[in-house]
């Protein structure tokens, strides 16, 4: 299998005080992992549940983003709302190297027809090295709807981060190590 044909390697982090203590059952994390496997053909290589503790979350994002792990995509679920302990966006921002606000803006835009509550999520997106991090809402419905809203563009985002796509706008571009994306407009 060539590098360009390998499946997306993903990790899912559930952020929940109650689930991390075993007094609630995590439904969002397993649902996201299933969507990644069935809808993107991804290989889910890590799954974890942590409490709403900024330092622990940031450390997990960094650990999962090391080149040795080879994780392309990290999804977190939970901690993006307005509750005092909702600190996932702050944890992610503290370690993200390049923020990408457009991804979560697109998710909220596509989800607003289902519920205006989508705009209560403070979820962020960005990269750590060559790993894309998305912080999704904690509810089963909110997390899966937000992932659904991005499924069509995530493969291209991952290919680009891997360096498999050359998209420089030149009409005479030739592949340097991946494929050339041509835009007709």
How much is the pLDDT for 183? 46
Number of domains in the chain: 1
Residue 185 maps to a domain: no
Q: Would you list the DSSP string of the chain?
A: --GGGSPPEEEEEEE-HHHHTTSS---HHHHHHHHHHHHH--EEEEEEEE-S-HHHHHHHHHHHTSTTTT--EEEEES--SSSTT--HHHHHHHH-SEE-HHHHHHHHHHHTTT-GGGGG----EEEETTEEEEEE-SSHHHHHHHHHHHTTTHHHHHHHHHT-EE----TT---SSSEE-----
Domain of residue 50, residue span = 3-180
* Residue 173: CATH number of its domain: 3.40.980.10
Residue 162 maps to a domain: yes
Q: How many C-beta neighbours within 10 Å does residue 139 have? A: 17
| Positions of the chain with pLDDT lower than 50, given as ranges | 183, 185
For residue 149, what are the CA distances in angstroms to 109, 112, 118, 182?
Answer: 9, 10, 12, 24
- Angle (CA) 123 129 135, round 5°: 15
pLDDT digits (tens, 9 = 90+) for 89-99: 999 999 999 99
How much is the pLDDT for 184? 52
How much is the pLDDT for 5? 76
At residue 109, φ and ψ (nearest 5 deg) are: -60, -45
How much is the pLDDT for 167? 58
pLDDT digits (tens, 9 = 90+) for 36-61: 999 999 999 999 999 999 999 999 99
């Amino acid at each position: 299998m060539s590098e360009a044909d390998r499946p997306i390697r993903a990790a899912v982090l559930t952020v929940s005080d109650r689930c991390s203590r075993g007094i609630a059952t995590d439904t969002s994390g397993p649902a996201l992992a299933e969507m990644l496997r069935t809808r993107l053909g991804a290989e889910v290589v890590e799954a974890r549940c942590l409490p709403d503790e900024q330092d622990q979350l940031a450390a997990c994002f960094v650990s999962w983003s090391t080149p040795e792990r080879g994780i392309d995509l990290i999804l977190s679920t939970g901690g993006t709302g307005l509750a005092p302990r909702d600190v996932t966006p702050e944890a992610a921002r503290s370690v993200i190297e390049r923020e990408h606000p457009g991804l979560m803006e697109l998710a909220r835009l596509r989800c607003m027809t289902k519920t205006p509550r989508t705009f209560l999520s403070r979820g962020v997106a960005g990269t750590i090295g060559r790993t894309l991090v998305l912080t999704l809402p904690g509810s089963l419905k909110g997390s899966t709807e937000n992932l659904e809203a991005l499924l069509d563009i995530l493969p291209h985002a991952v290919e680009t981060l891997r360096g498999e796509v050359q998209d420089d706008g030149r009409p005479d571009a030739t592949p340097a190590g991946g494929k050339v994306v041509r835009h007709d407009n």
